[in-house]
Amino acid sequence: MKAMQIKKSGGLDNLTLVDVDPSEPKADEVRVRWHATSLNYHDYLVAAGAIPVDDDRVPMSDGAGVIEAVGENVTQWQTGDKVMSLFFPDWLDGEATAVGTSMIAGENIDGFAQEYSCVSEQSLTAIPDGYTFAEAASLPCAALTAWRGLIVEGGLKAGDKVLVEGSGGVSIFGLQLAKAAGATVYATTSSDEKASRLKELGADSVINYKEDECWGRTINKMTGGVDHVLDVGGPSTLPQSIEAIGYGGRISLLGVLGGRDATIVLPKVFFKHAYLHGIAVGSRRMQQEMVSAIDVAGFKPVLDQGFALENLADAFRYQETGQHFGKIVVEY
């Protein structure tokens, strides 16, 4: 089978396509024929060497495929079932713990940039009805992060005001989930073209952050303060997210696209009685509940360009440009 490996941590040129033999599933495992993965910023940090990994590590935390073989003790799946992966394969339910989140697909255990692999029967969920493998592969990291931030932790309800930032996977999924729940959605972006596309997806108002450096204050004046913010930029967006949030609102800290170290004015958090909560993907139970909600809502992911497995490095180089709208996928 074909597999992409990181031969030496430290750069995209070290991504190497190899031929290896598929393994046989153990008693409590299934073998999945993976057909697609999608790019997340975490995957880019691994591939580029910002998160060091062992030599020969198979990258990519998202995967969707079909079960080809089952171990003798497997009860949850049968051959032919369409499934998708978990970012944290050991976090099945309940609150996040150090043990449950210690294993990360594509980082300290092999991920899904390979045609076949064997995984625990508990480390998978079904894919939404009618989804292609490419569509399903966009969900386990980005969509689940947005779901947890808004629905699980945020308790989003109809009529709430939500701010999403940019047009990456987490933000667009946040927009789609919020609109499905009956919320009003405000968005930021860098171009008129992307603003038009965000409005087509249901955004009620879009601000070009390149034209309005104080976009957080602008949104606060427009709305009286939003109830939820999905903050993906860290230091580049967090000060404006705090400006935008309303009294008692919640900021979900989801990403570090703008760097790792942020400076904030603490009294603005105190006197708004705002919540800042770090979110790192979610559990199997959360993913199952998200799939059930998608089956009811019926929306589809927004996919950008697709690449072949052997062109994974080119997919990451395209991600570097920031031109994409939605999820970049790889199919094999």
CA distances from 25 to 30, 73, 79, 151 (A): 5, 10, 12, 35
pLDDT for res 9: 86
Do 317 and 188 fall within a single domain?
no
By the 8 A CB rule, do 332 and 137 touch? no
By the 8 A CB rule, do 141 and 41 touch? no
Do 80 and 32 fall within a single domain?
yes
The pLDDT of 161-174, averaged and rounded, is 96
Number of domains in the chain: 2
Instruction: Write the DSSP assignment of 71-133 as a string of letters.
Output: -TT--S--TT-EEEE-SSTT--SSS--TTTTS--BTTTB--SSBSEEEEETTSEEEPPTT--H
Instruction: Report the C-alpha gap between 174 and 151 in whole angstroms.
Output: 10
pLDDT for residue 266 is more than 90: no
- Which tokens in the block code for residue 19? 């031929």
The pLDDT of 167-171, averaged and rounded, is 94
Do 291 and 200 fall within a single domain?
no
Alpha helices, DSSP H only, in 72-183? 133-136, 144-147, 169-180
Question: Residue 64 CB: number of other CB atoms within 10 A?
Answer: 29
Do 236 and 294 fall within a single domain?
no
pLDDT for residue 2 is more than 80: yes
In a domain, 149, yes or no: no
In a domain, 192, yes or no: yes
Enter the pTM of the model: 0.95
The pLDDT of 162-183, averaged and rounded, is 97
Do 158 and 245 fall within a single domain?
yes
Instruction: Report the C-alpha gap between 303 and 216 in whole angstroms.
Output: 28
Residue with tokens 């033999």: 21
Domain boundary among the residues 278, 293, 311 is at 278
Q: Which domain holds residue 322?
A: 2-141+282-331
Do 7 and 134 fall within a single domain?
yes
pLDDT for res 26: 98
Domain boundary among the residues 278, 299, 319 is at 278
In a domain, 146, yes or no: no
pLDDT for res 259: 78
CATH number assigned to the domain comprising residue 290: 3.90.180.10
Do 46 and 102 fall within a single domain?
yes
pLDDT for res 102: 98
Do 35 and 91 fall within a single domain?
yes
pLDDT for res 262: 78
3-state secondary structure of 184: strand
Do 198 and 93 fall within a single domain?
no
Instruction: Report the C-alpha gap between 79 and 92 in whole angstroms.
Output: 22
CA distances from 185 to 17, 160, 266 (A): 42, 8, 26
In a domain, 147, yes or no: no
Do 21 and 129 fall within a single domain?
yes
pLDDT for res 285: 98
Domain boundary among the residues 244, 262, 278 is at 278
- Which tokens in the block code for residue 302? 């927004």
The pLDDT of 306-322, averaged and rounded, is 97
Do 41 and 117 fall within a single domain?
yes
User: What is the distance in angstroms between the CA of the first residue and the CA of the last residue of the chain?
Assistant: 11
In a domain, 148, yes or no: no
283 pLDDT tier (thresholds 50, 70, 90): very high
pLDDT for res 109: 98
134 pLDDT tier (thresholds 50, 70, 90): very high
In a domain, 305, yes or no: yes
* Of the candidates 233, 247, 240, the residue with the CA atom closest to the CA atom of residue 264: 240
Do 10 and 116 fall within a single domain?
yes
252 pLDDT tier (thresholds 50, 70, 90): very high
* Of the candidates 301, 304, 313, the residue with the CA atom closest to the CA atom of residue 84: 301
pLDDT for residue 258 is more than 80: no
The pLDDT of 92-120, averaged and rounded, is 98
